[in-house]
Structure formats: C-alpha cells, structure tokens
Amino acid sequence: MISYALRRVLSAIPIALIAVTVCFFILRLAPGGPFDGERALPPNVMANLRAYYNLDQSLPMQYLIYVWRLLHGDLGPSMVIDGFRVSDLIRIGFPFTLTMAMSAFVVATAIGIVAGMIAAVNQNKWPDYVLVLVVMIGVVVPNFLSAALLQLVFGVYLKWLPAGGWVNGSLTHLVLPVTVLAWPHAARISRLMRGSMIEVLGTNYVRTARSKGLGERLVLARHAIKPALIPVVSYLGPGLSYLLTGSLVVEQVFGLPGIGKYFITAALNRDYGIVLGTTILYMFIILALNLLVDMLYAWLDPKVRYR
Amino acid sequence: MTDTVLSIEDLSVTFDLHQSEVHAVRELNFSLQAGETMAVVGESGSGKSQAFLSIMGLLAKNGRASGRAMLGDLNLVGMDKNRLDQVRGKDIAMIFQDPMTSLNPSLRLKTQLSEVLVKHQGFDKGKAIRHAVEMLERVGIPEPGKRANAYPHELSGGMRQRVMIAMALLCQPKILIADEPTTALDVTVQAQMLDLFKTLTEDFGTALVLITHDLGVVAGVADRMMVMYGGRCVEKGRTDELFYDPRHPYTLGLLHSTPHIAHRAARLDPIQGLPPSLEHLPKGCSFHPRCAFCFDRCLEERPPLAPVEGGREKACFYEGPMTYEAVA
Amino acid sequence: MAGITGKDAILTDYANKLEKLDAPKGRSLTQDAMRRLLRNKAAMVSIILVVLIVLAAIIGPYFVPWGYAEVDWTSIRKPPDLSKGHVFGTDQNGRDMLARVLQGTQMSLIVAGVATVVSVVIGVVYGAVAGYFGGKVDAVMMRFVDIMYALPYILFVIILVVIFGRNPVLLFVGIGCLEWLTMARIVRGQTLTLKEREFVEAARAGGAKPFTIILRHIVPNLTGPVVIYATLTVPEIIITESFLSYLGLGVQEPQTSLGTLISFGAPVAEVLPWMLLAPAGVLVTLLLCLTYIGDGLRDALDPKDR
Ligand SMILES: Nc1ncnc2c1ncn2[C@@H]1O[C@H](COP(=O)(O)OP(=O)(O)OP(=O)(O)O)[C@@H](O)[C@H]1O
Ligand SMILES: [Mg+2]
C-alpha cells in the first residue's frame, strides 16, 4: 500500500510540471496578452510586470524564474490592480470557498450514497422512482439556473432564506448556495451508487454472504457497500473539481466572498495574473485530491495495488 | 443412518418473466439421511441449482418456491428471512457453482470465514479467526495462517474452491450442498477434492448433496442419486443400482455418454437432440422427443414418478429391456 | 462542464467493446445499438423534440413577426400576448421574447456545433496518428492526453475567455480544442485494430502514404463512434456556453444565447417571470432530451443492463 502511494505521488509530479509549463506559455504567448504591446497597461503595472517576469531575460530563463517562484509558493501578481497578488486573493477568498465546497461535497456525497443505496434496495418501488426524478433534475438543470429558481422561490416569494449576500457566520446564508452546489453532485453520486449497488446485490459473492445467514443488514454493510463504492470513489475526484469550479458560479450568483467571485471579476477584466495563478492553485488542489481518491480506491479494491 | 435431516415435499420453483413464467423445478420429493451422500445429476438447465437455492432462500428476485423443505420441524420454504438466517450457514450450508466469483473480492479471507462463527457460534473475532485458520489447514491449504490474510484474487481457482468448502464446514452443518464443486478444477485437484469430501462427511457426519453433470464423480462418492430432467426428477435410487441397471432411458443415455462408465457399450452414445426449453416443454413425457424407447402413450401422458422394486423410483412407461443394442 | 451525460464512461465502454471486435462486427455492433435505440420510446421522443427545436431555431425566426433586436414601443415589459404576436411576452426594451429565444437557441446550437466539430476533427486526427504510428509516438501522445484529463477543464475555458474575449465563435473553437480528449482515445483504439486489417495492409503494401491511408481507410470506419460522441458532446457544450454567458463571459449583446437570456431574466424574474421561464424552459428541455438520448445510447450499447 505504501509503495503504491509513493508510485502514485511520483507519477503526479510530471503532470503538475506539464500543467505549469502549459500555463506559463499560455500566459506568455497568448494573443492580446498583457505582454502584447498593443494593450495599454498602466505604467506602474507594466513596470511591475517587467520586474516580476524579468522581461529582459530570454524566454527559457523567464520560464525557469517562473517555476522557481512557484516552488516557493508564489503564484504571481495581478496585472490590473497594482500591488495585488494571487496570494492576497487566496488569503481573502480561499477559506470561504473551501468551506463551502467541502461542506457541499461531504453533504452531497453522504446523501448521494445513502439515497443510491435506498433506491437500489427498493429497486422499481416508489423510493426508487422518486430518486430517479430528483436525480434527473439535478443532472439536467445547470447550477446557475437552479440558483436563480431557488432564489426566486425561497428568497423572494417564500422569504424563508436570504436570497443572497453574506453575513459573517450566518448559516442561513449558506443553505441555498450549498444546496445548489450539492444537488448535481449528490444526483450523480446516487445514480452511480444505485447502479453499482444493484449490480453488486446480484453478484455471486453477495449470494454467498446471504447463504451464511449473516442477516441482510450485515450483508449490505460488510459485503455490498465496499465493492459498490468503487465506481463512486472513482467519480469523487472529477466530482470535486466540478464542485470547486461550480463554486465559481454559485459565489457569483449569490454574491459570496469566495475566490470564485474575484476569479470571475478578474476574467472579466482580463487579468491574466490572477486567472493563471488561481488556475494553477486549483490544479494543484485537484491533483492532490485525485491522489487521495486513488488511495481510497486502492483500499476498496485490493487488486489495484498490484497494478 | 436412518436419521432424516432434510425432507423435501412437492418443491417447485417458478420464475416470473415479463409476459410468462418458467417452471424451473416441479414437484420434487426426496429426503436426506444424516451422513449420506446424495448426487443430483442432469443436463445444464435441468433445475438442479435452483432447487437447492430455493431451499436456501437464495432465489433471484423474480423467483418463488412452493412446497415444503423440512429441516427437523422447520419449513425452510417461504420462511421469514430473519428466522432463516439462524439456520442457513449453521445447519445447512452451500458451496456454489463458481468459486471464482463467489468470494467477496474486497474482503480478506479471514473476515469472510470468521464471520460465520461470530454470527452462529457467538465466538469473538480472535477465536473465530483461529478456528478459520484451522479449517483452512484441514481442507489442505498450505500456510493457512498467511493465506487467511490474503484477498481472494491472490488465490488460484482450486484454492478458492477449498476456501469455499472450509467456509461451508465451519459450523459443522448437518447438510452441505455442493453445487458442481469440481467443474472448475483440473482433474488431479478434482480427485483431491472428492477425497476431501469423503473424509469430511465421515468426520462430521454431514449429509452431502453433490450436484454435478459428471457421473464419474458420482460413482466414486454418492450413496444415492437423483436424476433430473426438465425440472423434474425422472429417476432416483441407490447409485450402484442405477449405474448397473438404469430404468429410465435418460439415465441410460447419461451413463452412455460418460467415458469411464460406458464400458458396456462399444461406443459413446451422446443423447440425441438438445435439452428442452423450460418454456416450451413437450406434451406428455418431456423426454419423449429424444427417447429411443418412446411409444404412443409417452406422447400424450406424462409418466408419474412411481416406485419400482427395491425402493427405487422412476418416471417412465417403458417396461421392456433397455440396451442400445435392443434399439439399434 | 463535462459529465452530464456520463460521456466518458459510455464511450470508453463502447470503445473497449469495439476494440475486441473486428471492423465489420464493430459496424454491426453500432447498427444493433441504433436499432435498439429506435425501440426506446423516451429516446425517440427526445430525438424528435430535439429535431423540432433545431428546426425552430433555424427557420423559426423567418416566421416570427418580430425581429430579435426589433423594439415594439407599444409593448414594453409585457406578458405573453397573442393578439400582438408576442407569444413569450417582451423584455424591458420591448423586444419580442419568442424571437430572442429562437435567436438565442440558434446561437447556443451554433457554438455547440462548432465546438463539437472542432473537437471531432482534432480527436480523429490526433487519435488516428497516435494509433497508426504506434510505439513511442503513441505512448507520448497518449500520455499527453492522460495529463490533459487531469486538468480542470472549466478553468482552461476561462483562460480561453480571457484570451478570445468577445468573439463567441472563436471562443468555442477554443473550447472544441479542449474537448477532443475522449474522441482521441476512442479513435486511437479503433485505429490500432483497423491498421492490422487486410485492406490497410494492402494499401500500405501498395505504397500509399500514411495520411492517405488514415483518410481513406481508417476515418470512414469511424462513423459510429463519431455520431455517439457528437450526441454526447453537444449538451456539454451547451451547458458550458450558457454557463459562460450567464457569467457575462460568453455571448454578448446584442447577440444573444440561452445563457445570456437567462442571465438577463434571472434578476427580473420576480416581476417579469416570462423573461426567465421562456429561455430556461427551452434550455432544460433541450438538455433533458439530450440526456435521455445519451441514456438511450448507453442502454442500446449495453443491453445487459436492463
Ligand atoms: N432468474 C431467473 N429467471 C428466469 N429463469 C431462470 C432464472 N434463474 C434460472 N432460471 C432458469 O432455471 C432453469 C434451471 O436453472 P439451474 O441453474 O437450476 O440449472 P442447472 O441444472 O443448475 O444447470 P447447470 O448444470 O448449468 O448449473 C434454467 O433453464 C434457467 O434458465
Ligand atoms: Mg447449476
């Protein structure tokens, strides 16, 4: 298991490196980029850029400097706001985004797994049909639309919950955003769980477990859930990146102070520095999460460890 | 040896299909004595596995069983699942047809083995694992202590089959149902397994039901046998008598198509034609389209399972001599 | 936002199956799947609805009495009113919502089509080259695909937005350039099997150049995978488009798209609900249908599931 973990970590390094390289060259070579002479940047920003990227050096040298700084945790400056850096943005926005995405992730994964199991055990009975419907809505309605509709219903008409905005520490302000974020994720998880659970419940080894007289509850808990989770776990990685990127929209729509809001603003202002720094940050987070998921996968499916 | 441990009365199994139903097993009757070995033979699809799965309460969702399966004074058919769980695994255990897929790939062997003891004997985990390791040793698994920590995919097919056997024997059940326990194995391992069964039934006094296609296997180990065709029992009796003097043409056909046994015929005679589809069983005797001895009555009327001399039973109207030479 | 149709899983299964069969059987696998699809009621109804929506988006504008940018000064912010020909009502500027929704649908479909075509072309070329040349070329090329898979798609999209700014079609050409990965994998697998076949060997022995062989012998055998891929990709791009437009990063005024319309409708939904509901209804119907078609395709390709 440990050697498997090591191998996975090592294989993630070149991926990270290539990702960084791609990002650097997009930044440097993009048409209409900040280094493009036609774009008028405020002179002090241009001076910062010159200093930061050592524009008088050759391109490979600039690349090395860029990587070197990244290794020291420096994700670069804004190209629009003088003196503002990606690290500032992370300090301001990241705790919020992470809290929101993680709570949505945990809630949605738990609900999805349980709902999928209930549907599988009651295949083709009413709990199953209800789930299929809820899932279909979750999968099909894009989050910005569900956000708008929920705001309208619960915030404007019913006035049960705040339609948007943020008051520090207020949980009610988080209910709608987390719901919007969690719904599609829970829907996909439960869909996967339902399918794999139905499959597992029909396998010979579950029949063996039943033949031992363990009782249905133990059969489910010990024999069925673990193998049924395998496809679910393999979706957790991509699922989390959808959640993190979905939080961009949700923060924007609900006016919440996370990275997403600044990120979108930066994109609208064509602030390459912020956009790229944030992208690289997300990439690292996603790579790390995928590693974690791989470990979980190896625990669930012992065969994987030997590959 | 006259202690009846299981008696089956009018056992039938029906599967619901979308538009129709399939009767996989019909009106099966037999009883099983302590310590004896009974073989159940028949072609693929004749209902062997489903008959015994129904006794274990393990039919697929679309299946239902009727009739009675008396274990002592408990009727296993239609029994409440919670009540059934106190019996299966403990008094009656089953080894399944396919050892490669019948063990849980995500759990260590010791977990899968010990849980039976924890559930039925109330052992704590450590004790249960020690017992499990002992049992692995008895079924001939080398380095059982180490193997107990392995996952199923680390074992060969033969080893997995042994694990299945060990698992079934852990609680020393009164009845062991072994569904084609040797088909997945190569010949040498097959022989070892059969020896193992023999010693184990002798040691534990377990009644063994051996489901198989292979009459060569039956000859070696079974006291009695039951021949199934199209979901019904067509002949049953003591193994030696059925072998030397089969009274049902289908039994005869089976014997003739088994290499080791077909000594009395000059050549191997496979039974002509294909096994019937359960959805469209022919009228009259379901074997008649493939039968060399069939006559008018067989086309119209289904022969009931009726006693012949010597405690045997058969379901056939034909009473004349039965050799292939007589027909050819 | 990849994934509403579970595209990768469906296509990978399908590709694995194709790889195990030789080409003629592969073709009949595709034909069988199509036949099963035709028997699936939900999928058929969805296909018909999608066709109707597409037709309405293309020819509808010619039959609507109002142009999408035309202002009706007599009815501003009016609910649906058949007598004036405003079936879906009007917006704050007095523009006919039906005309705008049709126009928006058209734009959404166009960008989805553009991105899908781009991704198919890149995917086919990339996959065929990797598969045909094999060996080290293949290993390096496919490793690159693996890496791309690991990267957050939507962030790249936003980088593209920053680069291509205000030109939606160019933007979606760019998005197509991100979407081709799955297609490349499938095409590579197919090419690996196809290149062992006699007609390819014969062509090679006859001295045909690699690219001639790829174009003439390999690409024509890829119709099945391409159709399935396209069906599953279009809804993903539609979602991406509406998402970007909603955030103000995609299609801009006076042009319009479903996402743009929703983003204008959402803030005023309390007083002018038709401005949100009309485009939202079309978007959801379209996505729902495309999802059902995707589900139908999956079942058709994997009949044991039922
Ligand atoms: N879930 C089910 N639905 C419908 N029919 C079924 C189902 N399960 C089994 N059957 C049918 O029941 C019949 C008997 O099956 P069974 O498994 O008992 O055969 P068998 O005698 O054990 O054959 P084999 O030697 O191949 O194991 C088969 O024809 C099979 O098609
Ligand atoms: Mg069987």
Residue of A nearest to B119 (CA): A214
Which residue matches tokens 């979980």? Answer: A296
Position C150 scores a pLDDT of: 67
Q: State the average pLDDT over residues B225-242.
A: 90
- Determine the 3-state secondary structure of C125 from DSSP: helix
- Enumerate the residues of chain A whose CB falls inside 8 A of the CB of residue B151: 302-303
What class has domain B4-91+171-327?
Answer: alpha beta
Distances (CA, A) of A96 to A86, A245, A266, A267: 15, 14, 18, 20
Tokens for A89?
């943005």
List the single residue in C with minimal CA-CA distance to A284: C151
Residue that has been written with the tokens 């051996």 in this structure: B210
Contact A226 B93 (CB under 8 A): no
Indicate the top mutation candidate among B14, B41, B46 to test ligand 1's pocket, ranked by most ligand atoms within 8 A of CB: B46
Mutate to test the interface with C, among A145, A234, A244, A282 (most CBs of C within 10 A): A145
Q: By the CB < 8 Å criterion, does A17 face chain C?
A: no
* pLDDT cut 90: percent of chain A above it: 12
How would you class C35 by CB atoms within 10 Å of its CB: exposed for 0-12, middle for 13-18, buried for 19 or more? exposed
Best mutation target among C151, C283, C293 (most A Cβ atoms within 10 Å) is C151
The tens digit of pLDDT for each residue in A21-30 reads 887 887 677 6
Distance CA C44, CA C38 (A): 6
Which chains are adjacent to chain B, needing at least 3 Cβ pairs under 8 Å?
A: A
Neighbouring-strand partners of residue B31: B7
Residue C28 has pLDDT above 80, yes or no: no
What is the reported pLDDT for B128?
Answer: 93
- The ligand 1 atom at the shortest distance from the C-alpha of residue B277 is 29
Query: pLDDT tier at A306 (50, 70, 90 boundaries)?
Result: low
Listed residue (B210, B237, B234) closest to B318, CA to CA: B234
Tell me the nearest-neighbour CA distance from A228 into chain B, angstroms: 10
The ipTM of this complex is: 0.87
Tell me the C-alpha to C-alpha distance, in Å, between residue B19 and each of A162, B22, B279, C264, C304: 54, 10, 11, 53, 18
| Contact status, residue C256 vs residue C107, Cβ threshold 8 Å | yes
A198 close contact with C: CB closer than 8 A: no
Q: Is the CB of B181 under 6 A from ligand 1?
A: no
CB–CB contact A144 C147 (8 Å): no
Q: Please name the residues in contact with B319: beta carbons below 8 A apart, sequence gap of 6 or more.
A: none
- pLDDT of residue C306 exceeding 50, the answer is no
**C242 part of contact set with chain A, CB < 8 Å:** yes
Q: Is the model more confident about C134 or about C31?
A: C134
Residue A53 has pLDDT above 80, yes or no: no
CB–CB of B119 and A212 under 8 A? yes
pLDDT over 80 (residue B268): no
Separation of alpha carbons B318 and C12, rounded Å: 59
All domains in chain A, ordered by first residue: 86-300 (1.10.3720.10)
Residue A228 is inside which H or E element, if any? helix A225-254
pLDDT at position B279 is: 77
Alpha helices in chain C (DSSP H): 7-20, 23-39, 41-63, 97-133, 135-150, 153-164, 168-179, 181-194, 198-205, 210-213, 223-246, 258-265, 273-301
The distance of B291 to chain A (nearest Cα, Å) reads: 36
Answer yes or no: is pLDDT of B326 > 50: no
Ligand having the closest approach to the CA of B25 = 1
Name the strand (E) or helix (H) holding A149: helix A143-150
User: Are residues A267 and C263, on separate chains, in Cβ contact within 8 Å?
Assistant: no
What residue in A sits closest to B165 (Cα-Cα)? A208
Mutate to test the interface with A, among B74, B81, B106, B209 (most CBs of A within 10 A): B106
Kindly list the protein residues that place their beta carbon closer than 5 angstroms to ligand 2, a single-atom ion: B 49
Per-residue pLDDT, B259: 67
How much of chain B is helix, strand and coil, in % rounded to 5? 35, 25, 40
H or E stretch at A284: helix A272-300
Residue type, A149: L
Mean pLDDT of C206-218: 80
Chain A adjacent subunits, 3+ CB pairs under 8 A: B, C
User: Please, which pLDDT band fits residue C77 given cuts at 50, 70 and 90?
Assistant: low
Pocket lining: B62 vs ligand 1, CB cutoff 6 Å: yes
Could you tell me the strand order of the sheet in which B63-71 lies?
B21-33, B4-16, B63-71, B74-75
Q: Is the pLDDT of residue C165 over 50?
A: yes
Q: CB–CB of A34/A52 below 8 Å?
A: no
**B327 band by pLDDT with thresholds 50, 70 and 90:** very low
DSSP B246-282: --SHHHHHHHHTSTTTGGGSSS--PPSS-PPPGGGPP
- As a whole number of angstroms, the distance between CA A52 and CA A46 comes to 10
Greater model confidence, A204 or A151 = A204
Average pLDDT estimate for A39-56: 70
Residue B47 CA: nearest ligand 1 atom is 18
Domains observed in chain C = 29-305 (1.10.3720.10)
**Nearest-CB residue to C239 (from A142, A156, A263):** A142
Asked if A302 lies within 8 A of B106 by C-beta distance, the reply is yes
Whether ligand 1 lies within 6 angstroms of the CB of B47 is answered as: yes
Segment B103-156, tens digit of pLDDT: 999 899 999 999 999 999 989 999 999 999 998 988 888 899 999 999 998 988
- Ligand 1 within 6 A of CB of B277: no
C291·A136 Cβ contact <8 A: yes
Mean pLDDT value across residues C152-179: 76
Q: Does residue A19 surpass a pLDDT of 70?
A: yes
∠A116-A117-A118 over CA atoms, to 5°? 95
- Model confidence pLDDT, tens digit, residues B77-107: 988 888 999 999 889 999 988 888 899 998 9
> Average pLDDT for residues A43-47, to the nearest whole number?
72
Identify the residue among B94, B104, B175 best suited for mutation to test binding to A, counting A beta carbons within 10 A and taking the highest. Answer: B104
Looking at residue B1, its pLDDT comes to 47
Which residues of chain A does B102 touch, with a Cβ-Cβ cutoff of 8 Å? 204-205, 207-208
Q: Verify whether ligand 1 is closer than 6 Å to residue B171 (CB atom).
A: no
Of the partner residues B103, B119, B153, the one whose CB lies closest to the CB of residue A214: B119
Range in A11-20, A188-197, B76-85 with the lowest mean pLDDT = A11-20
Lowest mean pLDDT among A1-10, A146-155, C68-77, C116-125: C68-77
Dihedral, C56, C59, C60, C66 alpha carbons, nearest 10: 160
Q: Are B131 and B117 in contact (CB under 8 A)?
A: yes
Question: How confident is residue A36, by pLDDT bands cut at 50, 70 and 90?
Answer: low
Query: Of the bound ligands, which one is closest to the alpha carbon of residue B44?
Result: 1
The DSSP-derived string for B62-110 is TEEEEEEEEETTEE-TT--HHHHTTTBTTTEEEE-S-TTTSS-TTS-HH
Work out the number of other CB atoms within 10 angstroms of the CB of residue A16. 17
pLDDT at C29: 67
Residues above pLDDT 70, as percent of chain A: 93
Q: Tell me the average pLDDT across B217-246.
A: 88
Q: How confident is the model at residue B209 (pLDDT cuts 50, 70, 90)?
A: very high
CA distance A36 to A30: 8
Band (pLDDT 50/70/90 cuts) for residue C26 is: low
CA B49–ligand 2 middle distance (angstroms): 4
**Rounded distance, CA A230 to CA A226, Å?**
7
Q: What mean pLDDT value characterizes chain C? A: 78
| Residue B230 in contact with ligand 1 by CB distance below 6 A | no
Average pLDDT, chain A: 81
- Most confidently modeled range among B186-195, C124-133, C191-200: C124-133
CA of B47 to the centre of ligand 1 (A): 6
Model confidence at A125: pLDDT above 60: yes
Q: Do chains C and B touch by CB distance (3+ pairs < 8 Å)?
A: no
pLDDT at C3: 44
Three-state SS for A187-214 is HHHHHHHHHHHHHHHCCHHHHHHHHCCC
CA distance A84 to A144: 29
Mean pLDDT of B22-40: 91
* DSSP H or E stretch at residue B314: strand B313-314
Strand, coil or helix: B286: coil
Phi, psi of B24 (to 5 degrees): -80, -30
Facing residue for B89 by CB, picked from A206, A211, A303: A211
Residue A205 has its nearest CB partner, among B88, B104, B151, at B104
Does the beta carbon of B42 lie inside 6 Å of ligand 1? Answer: yes
Say if CB C133 and CB C193 are below 8 A apart.
Answer: no
Per residue in A168-184, pLDDT (tens digit) is: 777 778 888 899 999 88
Q: Does the structure show a pLDDT above 60 at B317?
A: yes
Long-range pairs for A72-76: beta carbons < 8 A, 24 or more residues apart: A75/A277, A75/A278, A75/A280, A75/A281, A76/A52, A76/A273, A76/A276, A76/A277
pLDDT at residue A255 tops 80: yes
**Tell me: the pLDDT tens digits for B147-181?**
999 999 898 888 888 899 889 888 888 899 999 88
**Across A75-84, B66-75, C139-148, C289-298, least confident range:** A75-84
Q: Could you say which residues from 239 to 268 on chain A have a Cβ atom under 8 Å away from some Cβ of chain C?
A: 241-242, 244-246, 248-249, 252, 263-264, 267-268
Q: How far apart (Å, rounded) are the C-alpha atoms in residues C248 and C250?
A: 6
Q: What is the pLDDT of residues A66-92, one digit of tens each?
A: 888 888 878 777 777 777 788 888 888
Asked whether the beta carbons of residue A136 and residue C156 sit closer than 8 angstroms, the reply is: no
pTM: predicted TM-score of the whole model, two decimal places: 0.79
Does the pLDDT of residue C93 top 80, yes or no? no
| % of residues, chain B, pLDDT over 90 | 33
Q: Is residue B15 lining ligand 1, measured as CB closer than 6 Å?
A: yes
Q: How close is the Cα of B211 to the center of ligand 2, in Å?
A: 8
Contact at 8 Å (CB) between C303 and C16?
A: no
Strand partners, B209: B38, B177
> Can you tell me which atom of ligand 1 is nearest the CA of B50?
18
pLDDT at C302: 63
pLDDT of residue C22: 57
CATH 3.40.50.300 residue ranges for chain B: 4-91+171-327
